[in-house]
Amino acid sequence: MKNIDSNGHVRGTSVYLDDIPVIQGTLFGLVFDAPMAHGSIEAVDYSKAEALPGVVRIFTANDIPGENQIGGIVPDEPLFAEGDIHFQGQPIALIVAESEHIAAKARKLIDIRIVEKPVITDPREAQAKGQLIIPPRTFRLGDPAAQWAKCAHVFEGRADSNGQEHLYIETQGAYAVPMENGHIKIHSSTQGPTAVQRTAARVLGVPMHKIEVDVTRLGGGFGGKEDQATPWGVMAALAAGQLKRPVKIALHRLDDMRMTGKRHPYSSDYRIGLSTDGKILAYEVTFYQNAGAAADLSPAVMERTLFHCTNAYFIPHVTATAYSCRTNLPPNTAFRGFGGPQGMFAIEAALAHAAREMGIPKHLLQQKNLLTEGAEFPYGQIAEGVEIGKIWQTLEAKFSIEKTEKAVAAFNNANAQVKKGLPCSPFASAFHLQKHL
């Protein structure tokens, strides 16, 4: 299949937000955001900023005609902060001016007084204090508690995986243009046009058919523009609708990185039990998902983690529990794998721990416990069309994992400055999850 975008991308002719010709009369928006992670807003003085020549208007929660709410799965995220702030970078107001430069100058003139509150960034601390996005969820298969005494080897540990910045080439942004009869057209850099349309209609208090969302292409956001693109489209539409002029918002990279969420960091506890010959008999894992200050897509990401908790292995006795923990970070969001890598990382960490303590190569434990036809997943689905065993045999025949590991070790012993590594991990594709759902 030919990628129809290739020519445009490499020649620089693909049309992105900043390539759209600016309509005469266009205004530019810049977000004024929270300077600290948690606190109560005592007062905000916009007078100096509003008096700056070229500043047209500053929009706050008081200017919203509909609902001040952009949460999708859980309605827990205001478009503009009211009363309390819950993460550094949380939008408080939108400055609309004749140019981005003027808006940036105005942002520095805003005075805000905030009474600080305790900040939570550790998901374990949030869970201990009952700060959860949704109730915890558990997948069970068999009875792990009854198996530990039967295990020749039992290992416990902790696996932490941190977040990642999406760093999409085009930063978050939108260009809203007022049309006839109160309609608004939003050019949005989003992976979820319907989310932008639905949320803009809710905030503006209008029917969805009055909001048109134009998106040329959906790729290249890595999940960072599924829900996180929505607020900027909504803000642009809010300003354009009330000012009756086009409004463009294009976040600068540092603003984008400060205000938007990332891949979810996880902290996980595992306990794994194996027989003398290396078969996994029991596995318990608890996931502490760092959701950030609001739900965003965290509940769905958390469930995907549970679906992938045993990766490509059959384990007859499993208990997997996940907590979606509310912290004072920007709301974390979708990122390639959508919670799957975090679930797989914990079981791979457990197997690496077991292999190290048992004094055997990890790949032997991996191969011995691969899924087989008819095996049951912890969520109840029966595996069908399993090919992972054949794939592993092909891998071994072509590359010889043990031989390659020895070559890597020899290279590392001979080179002090440059090192090699050999990652080797099976992966249970998402196809079976989609089928189950």
Band of residue 209 on the pLDDT scale cut at 50, 70, 90: very high
Contact (CB, 8 A) for 342 and 287: yes
User: By percentage, how much of the chain surpasses pLDDT 90?
Assistant: 93
For 103, counting Cβ atoms within 10 Å of its Cβ (0-12 exposed, 13-18 middle, 19+ buried), the class is: buried
Band of residue 435 on the pLDDT scale cut at 50, 70, 90: very low
Band of residue 430 on the pLDDT scale cut at 50, 70, 90: low
Band of residue 59 on the pLDDT scale cut at 50, 70, 90: very high
Is the model's pLDDT at 72 over the cut of 90?
yes
- DSSP state, 394? H
Tell me the three state secondary structure of residue 270: strand
Is the model's pLDDT at 157 over the cut of 50?
yes
Mean pLDDT computed over 300-320: 98
Q: Which amino acid makes up residue 247?
A: V
Is the model's pLDDT at 1 over the cut of 90?
no
pLDDT one-digit tens code per residue, 231-279? 999 999 999 999 999 999 999 999 999 999 999 999 999 999 999 999 9
Is the model's pLDDT at 91 over the cut of 70?
yes
- 18 sits in which H/E element: none
CA pair distance 427, 20, nearest whole angstrom: 41
Cα dist from 42 to 82, 85, 92, 111, 112, whole Å: 10, 11, 13, 11, 8
Mean pLDDT computed over 178-187: 97
Q: Count how many residues are written for the chain.
A: 437
Give buried/exposed letters for 51-75 (b at 16+ CB in 10 A, else e).
eeeebbebbbeeebebebebbbeee
pLDDT one-digit tens code per residue, 326-383? 999 999 999 999 999 999 999 999 999 999 999 999 999 999 999 999 999 999 999 9
Q: Which residues contact 431 (CB under 8 A, 6 or more apart)?
A: none
Q: What is the pLDDT of residue 2?
A: 84
Q: What is the pLDDT of residue 432?
A: 45
Domains detected in the chain: 15-117+166-259 (3.90.1170.50), 123-162+262-436 (3.30.365.10)
Q: What is the pLDDT of residue 218?
A: 83
